[in-house]
Amino acid sequence: MSRDADRNKLPRSNSHDNISLNPIPKIIHSKPTSHGAGETSFGAKDDGSTMSSSNEYAASPYKNASSAIAGVIRGHAPGREHITTLSIPEQQPTVAYTSDLLLPINFLPGEDDVKLRDDVTYGHKRKTLQRGELIVTKYRLLFITKSPDPLQILVDVPLGMISQIEKVGGQTRSNISDGAAYGIEVDCKDLRRFFFGSAKEQNQRRNLYDNLTRLIFPFSITKADTGNPLQFFSSFFAWNYKKKICPNETDIGWKIYNKVQDYTRMGLGKNGDPNWIIDTEINKNYSLCDTYPNTLVVPSSIDLLRLQNVATFRSRNRLPVLSWYSRETCATIIRSSQPLTGLNRKNQDDIDYLHEIANANKNQNSKLFILDARPKVNAIANKANGGGYEDYSECELEFHNIQNIHVMRESLHKLHSAIRHGSQEDKSWFNDSANSNWLAHIQTILTSVNQIVSFIHNDKRSVLVHCSDGWDRTAQLTSLSMLMLDPYYRTIKGFMVLIEKEWISFGHKFFLRIGHGDKNESEQSPVFLQFLDCTYQLIQQFESAFEFNETFLLKIAEYLYSCQYGTFLLNSEKVRVDMKISEYTMSAWTPMLEDHQIYTNKLYNEKLDQVLRISCSSEHIKLWNNYYCRYMSDHQSTSDNIIHRTSTLLHLRNRLNPNQHDDESSQPRSRSSSYVGSGTQYPNPSPALRKTKE
């Protein structure tokens, strides 16, 4: 039986076999990838949220990675007759099994059921090119060409990567002309865009649109229930994947970050600076601030009652706490949210607390420096809504004009539009991309980071960083400053710890900012993507200072959206603990630790442990082409050139240092942690992990 005939024996959605085609000579191939609230308000805020009190093809399974889950779990063939009933609402039935498709692709463990099959045409810029079949699993959307054409997979995209689905063409049959485009257009968060033409009869487009919406945007239909872990996680492929890989164990990636250990490494704790205390009690059970971690570092002189008073005077109870400590200068990076000063309100406990933070630095000879990431006009506007800023004579305040989440989202949309509709050989493309202001925003962020680093390292001054709520722009500035100040965070493991610490445990709202399972963009913003972009800029200027390479950043950006792992699914540490995330999903760090050789920068020099200071000029801040432009038809990846250049430089270095072996030069050592070469080895995968990789 032919492959096409075998596919056709299975049930499918409405189809139409007589769709006329209007092919054009060039077929656009999609590059295969590894894939994937009502609060009490005081008014609108600068970052677009509201202010209230704190209660708020792959040989390896790692190289690839949602419809709502079916009400039963079926096993692989043979044995499909075994059915285990679960109390999970049925939203989309299984129409086939991936094992029956006979496709040249290795589906992931857990990617067993096909949720949708439909005959469509695939097109570029709303022009039909190829006739074939649309296939949707729990993890991905595929377009497969049909006989008599050679079998090709032209589209392979994780469902989590899809941002919008739009109907194209007339809304009623009466106003549809024969030559007009008619079907579904799919936009992706990684700039890809696909057009699938459908039949104008039998309600095929409406059925296709409705089914795709249920599969890809379950939380646009029913609000996410973060009080029910099984119901919530079953909406994501990460749950299916975990059940197949390591159902009864916690994978190593969830254990990579130890709060007390990291603060102790900095020079704090029992044998460290006595002016600071690592406190595991004040936010136990997240009672003081439910969007902060359960372990906080505060001045040792402060008592619990005053801490509580300070917390109530800060948006979302996000009081100032230590993020990083310098052994060399005793200066600190402090993070918080805005004070609730309103039009004319002060809190003496808040003023005294900032004074104690300044005094905890024995080298502090001047006022505490406060870097407010917002434009001043926005901060002033927030005063009318109950927010504000520190107009304290005891502190030095400066605003840094980093725009809010809505401006950043619109900027990325403009960049996407410029890239989709232009060519890198076209002068207007450069103008359009510049008009998006994306690189200007990157420059502004990095300029602010440079100032923080200068205050800490050169002036030995402690710096308090905040924006409105302290979980978007604040996380960008603190994490990038730490990356430039501390060489440990420039290692592979250290960078993972940095993300776990400053982004995940301190409450960056990944679920809302990425828009997992929800097409509503009101809370979405590329804040974390900007952090990765800024890190890329640092690597370009200080290549030998980083143990990881660009491929490492690209993989993190992929896992950010793909929903294969649970690392970037939820909004705060408390929600992760309450939802038992490590029991339902795997960590994105687990496969990356195992495959660390892929992400290792062979030019890394562990002796380059100095503080970095990046050039923020337009000449040096460049578009991250290998990320934003990788799906442009005329894009040529620079990765091969980088690998060739690296090999040449390593060869020259070995000629200059004949006593240094090649294997030593390609195995970097970290001076700042118990990492490779200093006692700790990379984790070996469990038998289940090894089996799936084989």
Binding-site annotation: residue ranges for substrate: 404-405, 467-473
Q: Tell me the backbone φ, ψ of residue 359, rounded to 5 degrees.
A: -70, -20
Contact 157, 137 (CB under 8 A): no
Burial call 186-222: b when 16+ CB within 10 Å, e when fewer: bbbbbbbbbbbbbbbeeebbeebbebbebbbbbbeee
d(CA 553, CA 468): 27
Neighbours of 149 (CB within 10 A): 12
Helices and strands, number each (H, E), in the chain: 24, 17
Contact 69, 234 (CB under 8 A): yes
Contact 673, 488 (CB under 8 A): yes
Burial call 328-351: b when 16+ CB within 10 Å, e when fewer: ebbbbbbbbbbbbbeeeeebebbb
d(CA 579, CA 588): 17
Burial call 491-502: b when 16+ CB within 10 Å, e when fewer: bbbbbbbbbbbb
CB-based burial of residue 598 (10 Å sphere; 0-12 exposed, 13-18 middle, 19+ buried)?
middle
Alpha carbon separation from 583 to 121, 295, 569 (Å, rounded) = 41, 22, 14
Contact 584, 233 (CB under 8 A): yes
Determine what percent of the chain falls in helix, strand and coil, rounding each to the nearest 5: 40, 15, 50
Residue 467 appears among annotated catalytic residues: yes
Residues belonging to the binding site are 404-405, 467-473
Q: Tell me the backbone φ, ψ of residue 645, rounded to 5 degrees.
A: -65, -40
For strand 183-188 and strand 276-279, is the pairing parallel, antiparallel, or unpaired? Answer: unpaired
Answer whether the bond into residue 89 is a cis peptide, omega within 30°: no
d(CA 684, CA 239): 22
Could you tell me the sign of the dihedral formed by the alpha carbons of 386, 391, 394, 399, in that order? Answer: positive
DSSP characters over 292-340: S-S-EEEETT--HHHHHHHHHTBGGG---EEEEE-TTT--EEEE---B-
């001043």: which residue's tokens?
A: 376
Answer whether the bond into residue 148 is a cis peptide, omega within 30°: yes
* Residue 609 token pair: 């442990």
673, HSE (Cβ side, Cα atoms, 13 Å)? 26
Neighbours of 461 (CB within 10 A): 23
| Annotated catalytic residue, options 188, 246, 467, 629 | 467
22 three-class SS = coil
Neighbours of 223 (CB within 10 A): 11
* Residue 315 token pair: 């948006």
Contacts by 674-680 with C-beta closer than 8 Å and gap 24+? 675/491, 675/493, 675/494, 676/596
d(CA 423, CA 32): 21
Alpha carbon separation from 536 to 545, 550, 629 (Å, rounded) = 12, 7, 15
d(CA 117, CA 627): 30
Q: Could you list the beta-strand ranges (E) of 446-592.
A: 463-466
Catalytic residue positions?
A: 467
